[in-house]
Structure formats: structure tokens, C-alpha cells
Structure 1
Amino acid sequence: MQQTKPLAYFKKSDLFSRLRDAELEELAATAVPKAFPKGAFIIQKDAPGDDLYLIVSGNVKVTLYSEDGRELILAELREGDFFGEMSLLDGKPRSAMVIALEATEALVVRRRDFLAILNRNPAMAVKIIEALCQRLREADEKIESLAMLDVFGRVARVILQMAAKEGVRQGDLTVLTRRITHQEIASMAGTSRETVSRVLSRFQKRGHLSFSGRRLVLPPNFGSQL
């Protein structure tokens, strides 16, 4: 675990921003630090478990696999993000898998400790509801994308979502800060890696995007021009 004390991570997290210092200290004192190597299955779908994870460092994906082995990535989460909140609140089995995309460290909060503080702090309950609503909206958008958009639209939406989270502005352009694999885009867009390669090639030929090394570069009107 990094040298920074757990309390500092809870203070930086939007989820816990409405807690008083005494409650933050109580929560931090109960949190258990855990480290996961790249590729580790942190959470298995349908497995029992009711802990909440706050990411300290690293990168994870929340994902589902179909019976024929196709993957659908629901979200990618990084430092300051959290996961496990659904089972934490309702005590039911996990609804998706969480896999470490790189070496990842997290603070783990047990359900009984979390609920004890939640019962004394309705404002934090509001933050949890807001977080759940946001993730439900994202799930609705993904369902709409899979049902209503063609593959070009789905790939474009994935790229826009990545740019919103990981893009940096360079003049009028937006550059993704890390290299995104075609397979990663495919898993989020519900298609194949080969199809993503063809779509990106088409976008590039039409001037809708470009590459700097292996990083995607988007013009200011990407999306509206497709």
C-alpha cells in the first residue's frame, strides 16, 4: 500500500466527502488495505460478498461474459473510484466481475462498518443514491447503444466516453492519455476486434480522428461529424 494514510484517500473520495472528520477517521480505522496483481479477479459474478472497495492506485474493469465467452466491459475505474456498492447495500451476490487491468491497491470496507456510519449520516446515503443513479444512467446508455446504434455509432460513443475520462486538451484537440487497444474498445462496444479495426480505419481516412503514436487524437467536433 502506498505511504499515504487511508484517511487521506477517504477524504479525497466524493462518496465520503460529507462525512465529519471523526466519522472519516472511524471508517479509515476499519478499512483493510489489499493489493491485487494485474489480471487478478477481485470480484466474481454471483459470488457472495458485501465489501466496498475504494481504489487507491491502479485500474480495474467491471465486466460481464456471455455463455459463448464474449466480453462486455461495463466500466473502467481508477484511483478514487469505488465498486461493490450494490452488494454492500442489499447483501445479494455480486452482479458483475471486477478484474485488475494493472497492479491495483484498494481499501476494503466491510458492510457492517459502512452501514453503522451510514445510519448516522443520511447525507452519505444521498451520495450513495447519486452514485447508483449515475451508474444506472450509464447502464441505460449502454443498453441504448447496443440496441439502437450501428457499430460505427457504438465505437464512436465508447471513444467519446474514454475521452471524457482520460482525454487531455492540446489546443483544439483531445488526446487520450493512454494507449487503448482495439480489443478494449470492442469489449465496450459489443463487437469484435476486427470490426473495431475497420471502423477506426474508416474514421481515420475520413479525418474523424488521428493517431499520435498509438494514442487516439480527436478533433473538437468528433461525434457530431460522424
Structure 2
Amino acid sequence: MLQNMDNNKISLTPINLGRGYNLYTCGESIDDLYLIVQGGIKLTTSAHSGKECILDICRRGDVLGALSLIPSVHEESATAMLDSHVLRFNRREFVRILRNDPDLFEIWSQHLAQRIRERESTIKHLVTMKCEYRLAAILLDLSQRFAGHGPQWQHIDARITHDEFAAMVGTTRSRIGFFLKNFSCRGLVKRLPDGTLLINSVTTSEFLATDPNEEEAVLQPMA
């Protein structure tokens, strides 16, 4: 997408964000879109109680602010999970170019379709899976998005805390710790010294292929 935008000479404003800094916050007017060039951005919202819910974690190539194509406000906050580099571009200019560039329109349509598919998958996991299966599905998805499809062991290079995983899964911090310990015993994950995770895509996929509605409520460590 970046190449097509360069070809159309879209005005791009570079923005560098340190870990923990907001790109935008919930309720702000949407006037621009943001293309992630490097790093990772989490999208969060809060319940009336103040509890944070992580809606998604976006990586290189993702575009934030798609709702800017219609007059609206941000329904989530975007915060850097890693030192990140993004490019900001104006929605009106982007819409004008989309109308005249079939290739860019096709790329944009595919991007939106992929984002919708990911959101539908998230909803499905929340409705149909137990917590430990939701966590496994999230780990597998993040490993593929951070590292791409490739080796059996894939590295999630962002340090995601137990609190953040709990906000994604919809459970408690202590249960996340319990699940990760069991995943480690079963060979699904490895924790590196810097706090990041390696995910075994093969064993995690095999685990997800089992029946999530089995009577056994939680995993038991392997002997």
C-alpha cells in the first residue's frame, strides 16, 4: 500500500511514538488515517467501571482510523506497545485518490476485508471458546502477525503483560499466569529472558483443534 501511496504523491506525515504513548484517544474526531511502518499499536476501550479491554493489536502494514472515511469519532484509543513509526495521511485526500486509482482501491478493499475477518474471528472466540482456548488462539494469531507464517517457533517481539492478555481474553491476571504456565509445560510457548514469548505454531494449532467444550475445565501440565 505504501508504494501505491508514494506513486500518488499522497502527503505523508511521519510520527514516532515511544512505548506507552497514545497515537489518538477515544472520542477524538477522526480526520486522518495512520499506516504502521514499524512497531505495534494496541487498540483499547474501557467499560463504565474503568476496566480496560484490548480490542486488537496492530502491526506493520495495518491502517488505523478506517472510520475516518465517514464523519465520526474514534471509538477506541491507540497506544504504542513498542517504539513505533507511523505515517499520517488526510482522509479527504485519500478518498479522492481511491476514486481514481483502481490498484490502490483493490489493496484498500482487501485490507478492510481482512480487518473485518479478524474482528469476526475475535467475536467468535469470545462467544464459543473457554478462556484458555481464547488465549491460545490469541497467541497463535499474534505470532503469525508479528513473525509471519514460517518456522515452527514464532517470536512475538512485543512484551505483552499478563494484565494486557487478561484484557484481551476477558479473564483475570492470575488465570493468564496459570494458563501460560500450563502452555509452557505442554510445549506451546517459551518465555525468553526479555519477557517476550516464542509460540509453537504446530502444538498450539493442535491444541486448538481439540474440543473446547470438553468436561475438563482447565489444562493439566504434562508429566
TM-score, reference length from structure 2: 0.79
Aligned length: 206
Task: Work out whether residues 43 and 55 of structure 2, in 8 Å CA contact, stay in contact via their aligned partners in 1.
Answer: yes
Give RMSD over aligned pairs: 2.6
Do residues 92 (structure 1) and 72 (structure 2) align? yes
Unaligned runs of 5+ in 2: 211-223
Deviations 1:48-72 (A, max 9, x none): 1220112233321112221122222
2:16 counterpart letter in structure 1:
A
User: Partner residue of 1:65?
Assistant: 46
Distance 2:151 2:23 in 1: 39
User: Partner residue of 2:203?
Assistant: 221
Task: Work out whether residues 168 and 176 of structure 1, in 8 Å CA contact, stay in contact via their aligned partners in 2.
Answer: no
Q: Which secondary structure state, in structure 1, belongs to the residue aligned with residue 206 of structure 2?
A: coil
Aligned with residue 180 of structure 1, among 147, 156, 160: 160
Percent of pairs with identical residues:
27
Task: Work out whether residues 17 and 85 of structure 2, in 8 Å CA contact, stay in contact via their aligned partners in 1.
Answer: yes
Task: Work out whether residues 42 and 100 of structure 1, in 8 Å CA contact, stay in contact via their aligned partners in 2.
Answer: yes
User: Partner residue of 2:28?
Assistant: 47
Do residues 76 (structure 1) and 57 (structure 2) align? yes
Task: Work out whether residues 36 and 62 of structure 2, in 8 Å CA contact, stay in contact via their aligned partners in 1.
Answer: yes
User: Partner residue of 1:121?
Assistant: 101
Unaligned runs of 5+ in 1: 1-8
Deviations 1:11-55 (A, max 9, x none): 2xxxx3xx683x1xx21xx22223333322222223212201122
Change (3 A) 1:20 1:120: farther
User: Partner residue of 2:87?
Assistant: 107
User: Partner residue of 2:143?
Assistant: 163
Q: Which secondary structure state, in structure 1, belongs to the residue aligned with residue 42 of structure 2?
A: strand
2:133 counterpart letter in structure 1:
G
Change (3 A) 1:121 1:41: same
Distance 2:163 2:113 in 1: 28
What is the CA-CA distance between 1:126 and the residue it aligns to? 2.5
Distance 1:168 1:137 in 2: 17
2:141 counterpart letter in structure 1:
Q
User: Partner residue of 2:182?
Assistant: 202
1:46 counterpart letter in structure 2:
G
TM-score, reference length from structure 1: 0.78
